Chain A
Amino acid sequence: MNTSVQQNPLNWRQELGARWQQRFNRWVKRRIPPSRLVVLTQYNIFIIPNKQGLGFVGVLALMFIGAVNYEASLAFALVFWLLGLFILSIFYTFRNLSGLHISAVAGSSVFAEEQAEITVILARHGERIHEAVDLKFPNSRRVTANLIKSIEERSSLYIRAEHRGWFTPGRLRIETIFPFGICRAWSLVDLDLRCIVYPKPVPCDLDWLTSQQQNSGHTNITRGSDDFHALREYREGDSLRHVAWKIAARGRGMYTKEYASNVDDKIWLKWDMFPDLGIEQIMSRLCYCVLQLDAVGLDYGLELPGVKIEPAKGSVHYNKIMETLALYGISDPASDDEVVA
């Protein structure tokens, strides 16, 4: 370690920076614990003059030298006046954040490598206005919110969700330099947000897959085509999948194929359908299958090592399957327990 310090000062500096960052993060975590609703007060607002502020003080120093040299009383007064402004700007910048109520809503689930939407809600109570408040998650663009006439302001921030599993946007940085841009007040709040990121769907040949399964003697995917019962006129709400397209193509009108009630169109999605792939690829392909099957309206079940979900359909089932795919083999950041062994 020591030799590398001497050889490469940049590394050393970076390392120190990283260590410092770590310490700071730990401290912030203790100072501002995660909470759904954060009210900004003197306990969680940091404030420090920024670069422009230092420039301002520098200009004041030059002006002071000018005042000394020309012995002009009003020049002294001007310098002191602006110094007063500088001191007051610290309070005013602080005030611009103080009393803000911050909460956030994570948007609906996303697939990996898509933009997750987080809606940050700023609310004020009382007459004090909050102007030009910047909001930013570590990997999002900066959004500026103003609570001048409104008492509540919603801002959407988008962050790319890289991997499936639990997505936490990190600490929201809420920052302002209003009113004079010479001080920066900020806070890093953890709004206790997380949303599930589904695996990125990767297309695979569904037909090939089913035929493979049948040829190899597995009967887990059984199609109900043999139990075709009757045709009846198409009614609104019928699945397009069950339309007799061959008849429609001949121009004889739309008919819906009816199946016998004992039709068994249950499909099992299994871990070993993709024997040569790694876990992420398997999840991606299974996700694609689920999307396709859900669109078709078939019953499908999921069987992974240690997990078995009976075939069914509907949005509750869909969500359950997708969540399982999203979290399979991933530890829960909140509980630090393995969801699946």
Chain B
Amino acid sequence: MIRQVFAWFLKRPDIKVKSGVEIYRMPRTALIWILASLTSVIIPHMLRMPVWLTLLCGCCIGTSVLIFQGRISHPGSKIKTSIVFVVLFAIVTQYGRDIFSTDAIVGVLVVGIALKLLEMKKKQDVLMVIYLCYFTVLAEFIYSQSIPVAIYMALTVLVITSALMSITQTEEFQRPMRTLKLSGIVLLQSIPLMAILFLIFPRIAPLWSVPMQNSNGITGLSDEMSPGDIGDLTRSGDLAFRVEFSSEIPPYSQLYWRGITLEQFDGREWSRRRFRNAQYLGVDKQELYPWFREIRTLGEPVRYNVIMEPTQQSWVFTLMVPQLTNERLFMRREFQVGTQRPINQRMSYDATSYLDHIVDLEMSRGMTNNNLSIPESGNEQSRAFAEQMYAEAESDEDFINTILQYIRNNEFFYTLSPSLLGENAIDDFLFNTREGFCEHYASTFTYLMRAAGIPARVVTGYQGGEFNKYNDTLIVRQYDAHAWSEVWLEGRGWVRVDPTAAVAPGRIEFGSQFTFQEDEGFLDDEVFSLLQFRSSSLLINDLILRMEMIDYAWNRFVLNYDQGMQFALFSRLFENVNQRKVLLSLLVFMFLFTGLTAFMVLRKPIKKAQTPVNALYLKFCRFLGDNGINRHSGEAPMIYSERVAAVQPQWATDVAAITRLYMELAFNKISPEERLGKTHQLKLAIRKFQVIN
């Protein structure tokens, strides 16, 4: 049935071949392979591409089949030119200013392959399509390198390689399964070589920076915070980052993963202060700055490695107060650690933090003012409330406690779906709705501090996480997003205060999942995810953690394999790592593995064990040899038989009959009964021949 469909699909008229002109005729099975490779390579890109691009690919595939069948001819140069212009125009319109983004480049690549399908006149054209398919596989890895994608893409490479093989094969001898099998074997045999090159081949730094336009909206923290922003993140169970501690793991309630500090407030929204002098401080320059030198650290450091999912933002998450150990990372004045470029790929960094610390005992006036500024108007009620309470308080600390006490003692609710706030958001929350998520509490608390004259700021990041007992990593997901406050106290510097702890201590002690798993809205975006069911079944919870462990290993050891890890590997092998040793070992391993594989591929085909039939035939050959006609080693039986006939014509018929019988027994598939009969027949024929002659 399938064969019939294919037969129709690839029905082909006889082309009258002009004398002298050699027209390239692609084997028909090859077309199926090529279309299969193209389809499978485009499928993952389809979600990101505009719909018209997918439709265009479909049209091109259909047209290429019609061209192959000879129903329509190859488009002429005028039609081709106009198609190319229309498509280019469409792409420019589609991507506009992002024409140099990765999305646009992938779009152009896909369109290029699809249009090339209409022009498969020569062998080079066909090869071009196949090579571009390989390239498109690579393009997919820019977006995703997860295990399922890797498996899917490996299968796609298998299909493309089969397409490559099929164009060298003869049409009538093509068997798709054989092509697939041989491609698979060669690809499997290439894996050791790939592994060696992957581990040893020197990794180079990017040659130029590549713009990314990520079409997948990324959920994560932004550098602005208005009421409801952090609460929205609890709808997502997406991974934010993973942490592996190399020192003792700090208590859960201390795991405040500091992202960014928000110092500007417009009455509703907190945002990052931009354009600041000496914005970023590299690891080599940090000692030059007094504020950095004056960090006082107490106790033992916490050391950890973080693998962070891409955020498209340029900051990373650390525990307070971080120490820079990584050259790619920079520190800002607010002890906020970041990168130079937006993080558009999964990134790994080592960090060291001192949880017990004193920072910024002295603070400049400018900075103090920044952390005291509040809009001149609005939220009058709250401002008055703060001033009154501050007047009643004995000290700054006392005032902070009073406010926290106030939150604790009044009917405040910690909820994912709070009532909407009016124009004076702080007043509305503090005296009216009293329902909110952590950003409401952090925002209000910071505002009250500033209103009372205590420098304060909002910090956003993540709090807590989930421990995976299988690989001792901490998994931090989007729903662990959190916001808290930092206040500056005379003689103590910056101190973290988390007003959420006053209303919902469980959130800090046990995490977001514990607090909200029964709530409406929590994990709303994860309708099909196993995460939905983890609370109801220990088994599923276990499964999630195990999958998480595999995924972590994949990320840590495969995707994150970089110069640093390469260096670490070499350090284990050699005492002093240098370029020459690396290259030498690369060569040695390459030769070794290439040699081994070559041996496997080229070793002599296994000779079949002597079967009775072969033994009979060889005996017959020896007899002929004794009579002066030796069989050359490896001479084909039929050729030998002809040679015997030429020398001894009177033997011709007998020898031909015996040879035919032997060939039939040796190479044809025949039933066992028949085989038995024919073997006997052969034995008799040879004996008779020997007796007569």
Contact = CB atoms under 8 A, between A and B. Distances in A.
A43 to B, nearest CB: 14
Interface string B192-211: 11100110010111111110
A146 B639 contact: no
Interface stretch (A126-134, A236-244, A276-284): A126-134
A148 B169 CA distance: 11
Interface in A29-65: 37, 39, 52, 55-56, 59, 62-63, 65
Contact of A55 (B127, B198, B639): B127
A63 B134 contact: yes
B200 to A, nearest CB: 10
A88 B601 contact: yes
A126 B607 contact: yes
B289 interface: no
A103 B643 CA distance: 13
A83 interface: yes
Nearest to A122: B636
B164 A180 contact: yes
Contacts of A151: 636, 667
B170 A83 contact: no
Given A70-B210, A123-B636, A132-B168, A83 B193 contact: yes
B186 A88 contact: yes
A91 interface: yes
Interface string A181-194: 11000000000000
A103 B632 CA distance: 13
A72 B187 CA distance: 21
Nearest to A142: B22
A131 B169 contact: yes
A85 B560 CA distance: 24
Interface string B139-181: 1011001000010010001000100110111100100000000
A142 B184 CA distance: 30
Contacts of A62: 135
Interface in A71-98: 71-85, 87-89, 91-92, 94-95, 98
Contact of A98 (B210, B345, B562, B602): B602
A130 to B, nearest CB: 11
A85 B170 contact: no
Nearest to B345: A71
User: What band does the interface of chain A fall in when counting residues whose beta carbon is under 8 Å from B?
Assistant: 35 or more
Contact of A87 (B124, B193, B632): B193
A268 to B, nearest CB: 35
B131 interface: yes
Contact of B207 (A68, A72, A94, A180): A68
Contacts of B123: 52
B113 to A, nearest CB: 13
A126 B135 contact: no
Contacts of B208: 69
A81 B191 contact: yes
A73 B127 contact: no
Nearest to B189: A88
A270 to B, nearest CB: 36
B635 A179 contact: no
Contacts of B632: 37
A85 B186 contact: yes
Given A87-B594, A151-B636, 11 more contacts: A52-B123, A55-B127, A66-B138, A69-B206, A71-B206, A73-B559, A74-B150, A98-B602, A99-B605, A125-B605, A125-B634
11 contacts: A67-B138, A70-B142, A74-B153, A82-B190, A85-B186, A91-B597, A101-B635, A151-B667, A180-B161, A180-B165, A181-B165
| Nearest 4 pairs of A and B residues by beta carbon | A84-B190, A84-B193, A126-B605, A80-B197
